[in-house]
Amino acid sequence: MKHKLIIARMTIIAGMTLATSNGPAEDNGVLPPPVPARQPSVFKKTDTNGDGKITAAEFQTYRDAWFKEIDADGNGKMTTDEFAKNQQEQFKTLDTNRDGAAVMEEYTNFFCGPDARAVKEAKPANTDKPTLFETMDTDDDSFVTVPEFVVYRLVIFRQLDANGDGKLTPEEFAAGANKRFTAMDANKDNTVAKEEFDATGINKAHGSRASETNLPVAN
């Protein structure tokens, strides 16, 4: 049921977007909505000291803020509705040209920044690593660099792009969100407590090390 809910919400967003972007524009005197200004990339927001690499502490700080943003009622648990709403907003931000889909360039710009260079030969992410941070930190030096982040995001894009057409639909994006929510919901109570959320990112006591979660796709 929760999977259908997230996908249904994302499908509604797609329909609204296509309805406003397809067909010739009518001269009805109403200006189209302004295109949102480009926001700093996720990497830039996470790399708070601007040194070009993300530490485990910076990653945790970013995730703390993100969880607080999702948890609208502030009860320390993330519901499927709250997560679905967050993913809807993220997809709308990804889809910069508002055509109802997100291509790889839009996706990598959002996460890595417009100057990030795509690494076409990126190999599948090693998702048997315990946490997201470890999965991104391919050389195990306790830092995530821009190239590591780019490779990781390209791999995740390809995982989400179920039909391999080079663009993400709201349904494909929602399907990835379903997998993430299910993986984080360790006790299967249809909510994700802060402790469950933290366990999939890093282990606070050991930097980037934690018990195995085998998270299938990115946060």
DSSP line for 19-88: HHHSSPPP-SSPPPPPPPPPPPPHHHHH-TT-SSEEEHHHHHHHHHHHHHHH-TT-SSEEEHHHHHHHHH
Closest CA to 36 of 77, 93, 108: 93
- Per-residue pLDDT reduced to its tens digit, 4-51: 555 555 554 444 444 444 444 445 555 544 445 567 999 999 999 999
Q: How many of the other CB atoms lie within 10 Å of CB of 46?
A: 22
- State the distance between the two ends of the chain, measured CA to CA, in whole angstroms: 21
Percent of the chain with pLDDT over 70: 70
Stated pTM of the model: 0.75
| pLDDT, greater one: 74 or 203 | 74
pLDDT in tens, 45-81: 999 999 999 999 999 999 999 999 999 999 999 999 9
